[in-house]
Amino acid sequence: MLDLEVCDIALSHDSNWAVSITHVGHKFEGGIIEFRNALSKFSIECGFEFIFVKNDKVRVTAQCLFRETKGYMWNVHGRVENANGFFYVRKLNNVHTCGAEDFKLRYGLRVSYRQAWLEVEKAKCEIFGDYLMSFDQLRWYVDVAKSCNLGSYIEFECDDDTKQFKRLYVSFNGSISGFDYCRPLLFLDGTFLKGRFRGNLLAVTGKDGNQGFFPVCFAVVGSENQDNWHWFLEHLSRIMNLRHHLRGMFHGLKEKLITLFGKCTYAPTEETFHQCLVELKTEGGLRVKKFLDDIPYDHWSNAYFRGQRFGEIWPNVAESFNSWI
């Protein structure tokens, strides 16, 4: 994938890069970064290569790659002016005695950067497919992934009416079996996808013994809503043997019960835990009582947790995972 700097160079090729550097005193108000970009464009357009002799925060000295071996004398030197932060060219030998012929010898032909970039993009589309093709190939991908990665759990859904992509759930066999050797903690979160068709990525992440991220499963869905989360957790329960009991309820009551549930979770002693628990059951009624009776206290409370308390209650791992990908 091309980085932002390369894309910027490719897309801005409307200007004449051959005059990116022209004379002693040439000013670059963007400072040393702007000059380095101009130098890259200049060498590409003129068909020669250079090396840095000096390249630090305030100075740049560059010369032709073949200065020592072939005596090509092109060079440039400049520095940042402390008074205004602008970069000025101080010395310049702008005579090119190498150029296109050496470029042709090294690479077989001479093309502009924009031409090369466009050809790379075409090649990528041929190999990986464009946006539309990538969705067309999902059925094929699912079938191949299942046949080549035995033990994986992958579910692909299309809309019944339009036959368009709806959602995709993926958990590879290595993730399913590997979680047995991770800490018994799951971090759930969703994040926006930034491709052409948007959507959301729902993901479950674990932690290994070295505090490293351990991706467990993920799903691509149209939006982060209750239906998609319910669907996602249903599939998660099939690979992790989990049970989930809560369904949608009145928003105000749900928020209050979550707050009370949090107090129970963080209670440091059994006495404090049961005081909070009485309040939670009183507010939640039979529905909450039935839910809590089916979940052992040591699975969700600090006061009753057996063994090491991993100190993990917040979904920081999930947020870090989102940033990482």
- What confidence tens digit (pLDDT) does each residue in 133-179 have? 666 777 888 888 888 888 888 998 888 888 788 899 999 988 988 88
User: pLDDT at position 193, please?
Assistant: 83
Burial of 184 (0-12, 13-18, 19+ CB in 10 A): exposed
Amino acid type, 7: C
Angle between helix axes 4-11 and 113-128 (nearest 10 degrees) is 120
Domain ranges within the chain, ordered by starting residue: 4-125, 135-245+313-324
Q: How confident is the model at residue 27 (pLDDT cuts 50, 70, 90)?
A: very high
> Using alpha carbons only, what angle is made at residue 207 by residues 202 and 210, rounded to the nearest 5 degrees?
150
What is the average pLDDT across 69-78? 87
- The mean-pLDDT minimum among 27-31, 85-89, 100-104, 282-286 falls in 100-104
Contact partners, residue 61, CB within 8 Å, separation at least 6:
52, 53, 54, 55, 75, 76, 77
Its pTM stands at 0.41
CA distance 217 to 70: 57
Residues 180-195 have a mean pLDDT of 82
pLDDT of residue 89: 94
Angle between helical axes of 31-46 and 4-11 (0-180°, round to 10): 60
pLDDT (0 to 100) of residue 86: 93
Rounded CA-CA distance 115/117 in Å is 5
Q: Strand pairing partners for 206?
A: 214
- From CA 171, how far away is CA 190, in angstroms rounded? 16
Share of the chain above pLDDT 70, in %: 76
| Closest by CA position to 242, among listed 213, 279, 278, 206 | 206
Q: CA 164, 248, 284 angle in degrees (round to 5)?
A: 170
Instruction: Show the tokens assigned to 81.
Output: 């002016």
pLDDT tier, 286 (very low <50, low <70, confident <90, very high otherwise): confident
Residue 294 CB burial class (10 angstroms; 0-12, 13-18, ≥19):
exposed
